[in-house]
A = this chain, B = another copy of it.
């Protein structure tokens, strides 16, 4: 990573952290335990990949920082809620997340359930409460996109498909279907929401072709993200990863590595990376952060 990119990332992460701190209900507001647990689940953790993608996409569209902050926060709340629920005993039963005890371990299962539920509500509340675009159509479109990406035909649906296929040998298209939903949908939504925040800066939003190009980039980089995740889960040890490594194999989950082998999965990530960058060509220099994020996603070691 270039020093310039590193400082952009650090700056975005710090800004998002402070925005999330401000937007989450205070831990001394009733019900205190729930609010404390919501803050525990969201703050001080993760690479914030989806918010970074939203910021990078918003910059292409000339979006206002304050607006991108809210959109990025809403997306991260959805992501955080999904992690809390995914970690629960009835799902992946994980005890470690981002190097800390998972929410149901630190608190209890009932609290973790309500934390996830409440974070989801809060995401939509934020989008409805803040004027993220002067164009009302874009505002509604953001809510619709995020809701669709979160639901049964997006992230939650991918999770259901995943659960239904533990121990089953999937074909490559089936595995792709799962990931396009499970992680891809929210990554794509992050990129679209970022872009829609810029919709009034120059009197209009990015044109449909530009939004499509960004969405295609999002689809490819979302898949690449998952392929790399599978590779890392196979390679890395628990300490580097900040979560329990080797879980996929133990749980007999279908992965790109189990389907293509380690080298095959690495090659696929490279190919997706190349294609993703191609779809940014139309934006020229304005897409520098998205390009750097694509590099980061594919080359990361944790």
Contacts and interface: CB of A to CB of B under 8 A. Distances in A.
A71 B108 CA distance: 34
A252 to B, nearest CB: 16
Contacts of A118: 151-152, 156-157
Interface string A16-39: 000000000100011101110010
Interface stretch (A136-144, A194-202, A230-238, A289-297): A136-144
Interface in A83-117: 85, 88, 90-91, 108-111, 113-114, 116-117
Interface string A69-87: 0000000000001100100
Interface string A134-165: 00100111011011101111101101110110
A240 interface: no
Given A30-B177, A128-B147, A160 B122 contact: no
Contacts of A148: 121, 125
A129 interface: yes
Contacts of A129: 144
Interface of A: 25, 29-31, 33-35, 38, 81-82, 85, 88, 90-91, 108-111, 113-114, 116-118, 120-122, 124-125, 127-129, 136, 139-141, 143-144, 146-148, 150-154, 156-157, 159-161, 163-164, 177
9 contacts: A90-B109, A91-B113, A114-B159, A117-B150, A121-B147, A121-B151, A122-B152, A124-B146, A125-B147
